[in-house]
Amino acid sequence: MIRNKFIVYLCCVVWLGVCLSDYAFAAQENSATIFIYHKFGEDKYPTTNVALDRFEEQMHYLKENSYNVISLSELVGFLSSGNGIVPEKTVAITIDDGYTSTYTGAWPILKKYQFPFTVFLYVKAVESNYRNFLTWDQIKEMQETGVDFQPHTYSHHRFGTWDKSLDEAGYRKWISTDFKKGAELLEAKLGNKPRFLALPYGEYNSIIIEEAKKIGFEAVLSQDPGSISSATDPFRIPREPILGNDWSTMPHFAMVLERKDLPIRNVYPAAKPLVDLQPENFCATIIEPEKYIQDSFGIYVSELGWKKKRF
């Protein structure tokens, strides 16, 4: 998950929390799931697509099993309210990029089930009339029925990659300029000030989060898989990707709905850009360790696999 000598992505660190929960009994606290989709019924793009009949099956599953499908705004509100208490069986639905199949495929199904959802727009693609992307007219039509639109940045760059030609001030300016451009254009077109930001490719570090906060975003969403609880940082909200052959199956869909991540804090290494590609340790403090079987913990490190814990 490490792209160059300047940046370490948080995927490997986040999996410290995610995968520990697979080896320990989860706490009894309620948790929520945010799903992330991209394309619908577009067989030419199997890695980012979900078949329409499968998507219908998933929405039917949520309805039949009494899941509480709420807006992203409402879910973020639980995290920002102070107590972070999430209602039982809570789900939020997000769609990234804004492909045309969001309008032609996903929207009719979501209207059928009366489920709220948020679309994170690749703003440059819409503004430049890229092929297979939503038009502003389609977006406004959806918005009039209550669909929420937020920015997926303007240019959809890999912002976690720090160009060697930039010093820190230049790197920060590159990030903030793009984030502001996307947010301002979306506000000008749709009339609402954007509140949330989804990061392209899920890549982030402390500088990216700091610049998003400066602009005024209330929450930042990644592509780290995981559930949401009172321990979730609103500026590093995980989402469960539903796409491709393996990650769009009903068994996988049902499994991630039941996932409860192990609450942790004091994660090392932190999300700051790193020069050392091989930190000596991956560490975290387990919140309320007395709730778990002490010998049940394991740590999964990207590209290294499962490792035994050391206390």
- For the stretch 11-53, pLDDT in tens is 333 333 333 333 333 344 688 999 999 999 999 999 999 999 9
171 contacts 177 by C-beta, under 8 angstroms: no
Over the stretch 92-112, which tens digit does the pLDDT of each residue have? 999 999 999 999 999 999 999
Strand partners, 34: 92
- CATH 3.20.20.370 domain residues, the chain: 29-261
- Percentage with pLDDT > 90 across the chain: 65
The three-class DSSP label of residue 114 is coil
- Percentage with pLDDT > 70 across the chain: 86
For 114, the token pair is 């009366």
pTM of the complete model beyond 0.85? yes
The pLDDT of residue 295: 74
Reply yes or no on whether the pLDDT at 9 is more than 90. Answer: no
Q: Dump strand ranges (E) for the chain.
A: 32-37, 39-40, 49-50, 68-69, 90-97, 118-121, 148-151, 196-198, 219-221, 240-241, 264-268, 283-286, 298-301, 305-308
Which residue has better confidence, 225 or 1? 225
Which residue has better confidence, 271 or 116? 116
Mean pLDDT (whole number) for 283-305: 76
Dihedrals phi, psi of 97, to nearest 5 degrees: 90, -50
**Across 13-27, 121-135, 161-175, 297-311, least confident range:** 13-27
Q: Which residue has the tokens 């929207």?
A: 107
Mean pLDDT (whole number) for 204-230: 94
CA nearest to 289, candidates 260, 267, 262? 262
* Residue 288: pLDDT band with limits 50, 70, 90: confident
244 contacts 46 by C-beta, under 8 angstroms: yes
The pLDDT of residue 283: 81
Type of residue found at 80: S
Which residue has better confidence, 81 or 18? 81
User: Please, what sign has the CA dihedral across residues 184, 187, 192, 198?
Assistant: negative
CATH class of 29-261: alpha beta
**Gap between the Cα atoms of 241 and 259, Å rounded:** 13
The pLDDT of residue 259: 86
Reply yes or no on whether the pLDDT at 2 is more than 60. Answer: no
218 contacts 235 by C-beta, under 8 angstroms: no
Distance between start and end Cα atoms, the chain: 25
Mean pLDDT (whole number) for 239-253: 95
**Gap between the Cα atoms of 56 and 90, Å rounded:** 19
Over the stretch 258-282, which tens digit does the pLDDT of each residue have? 988 877 888 887 787 765 566 777 7
Q: Which helix (H) or strand (E) holds 123?
A: helix 123-127
User: Using H for helix, E for strand and C for coil, what is the string for 127-169?
Assistant: HCCCCCECCHHHHHHHHHCCCEEEECCCCCCCCCCCCCCCCHH
